[in-house]
Amino acid sequence: MNLLLDTHIWIWSLLEPKKLSIAARKALDDSGNDLFLSPISVWETIVLHRKGKIDLGPDPFIWVETALYTVPIQEAPLNLSVAVQSEKLELDWKDPADRFLAATAAVYDLILITRDSHFQRKTGFRVIKG
């Protein structure tokens, strides 16, 4: 399976893996699965650190760079198709980061691993509860 990690799933997998659901842990641990991360999640992670919501040490940029090499993960690029799809999806919430993640999952046919319940109720992309 090709899996797109929601921002919190990526962070939890590195900092607090016990927060992950059993299904998410199994999916992440399965060496047959390919993991993908959106640049939006990297941006969100740095913003969360800047706001004091998570601690990434003295230099969040070094933390991100190290994290990207800790677990084999591929970039799911933000491109024009993702931008257009972000507005085509019928989502009833306004968070642009979530829209881009949902669109990324749809465009690249990735399964989004997330704990966010609003993603569970939508179509156009597949979800594993994180």
Return d(Cα 130, Cα 114) in angstroms, integer.
5
Return d(Cα 71, Cα 97) in angstroms, integer.
22
Among 72-81, 94-103, 118-127, the range with the most confident prediction by mean pLDDT is 72-81
Return d(Cα 86, Cα 122) in angstroms, integer.
13
Average pLDDT of the residues in 46-55: 95
Q: Where are the domains of the chain?
A: 2-129
DSSP assignment of 66-93, as one string? HHHHHS--EE----HHHHHHHHHS--S-
H or E, element range at 60: helix 60-70
**What tens digit of pLDDT does each residue of 6-34 get?**
999 999 999 999 999 999 999 999 999 99
- C-alpha distances (whole Å) from 101 to each of 21, 32, 105, 106, 109 are 20, 22, 6, 9, 12
Q: Residue 128: phi, psi to the nearest 5?
A: -115, 130
Strand order in the sheet with 2-5: 74-75, 34-37, 2-5, 111-114, 126-129
**What tens digit of pLDDT does each residue of 78-103 get?**
999 999 999 888 777 778 888 899 99
Task: Among 2.60.40.60, 2.40.50.60, 3.40.50.1010, 3.30.70.860, name the CATH number for the domain at 2-129.
Answer: 3.40.50.1010
